[in-house]
Amino acid sequence: MPLRKDNLIVYPGTFDPLTLGHLDLLERASGLFAHVVLAVAGSSSKIGAMFPCEERIEMAREVAAPLGNVSVERLDGLLVDFCHERGARVVLRGLRAFSDFEYEFQMALTNRKLAPDIETLFMMPREDQSYVSSSSVREIAAYAGDTSKFVPPTVQLHIERLVVLRRLSQHH
Catalytic residues: 22, 46, 96, 134
CB 13 within 8 A of CB 91: no
Among 105, 134, 110, smallest CA distance to 122 is for 105
Among 12, 30, 171, smallest CA distance to 94 is for 12
Q: What angle do CA 85, 87, 88 make, to 5 degrees?
A: 110
Helix 153-170 vs helix 134-142: crossing angle, to nearest 10: 40
Amino acid in the structure at residue 41:
A
Three-class SS state of 99: helix
Q: Taking the chain, what is the end-to-end CA distance rounded to the nearest angstrom?
A: 57
Distances (CA, A) of 32 to 28, 47, 69, 104: 7, 33, 11, 21
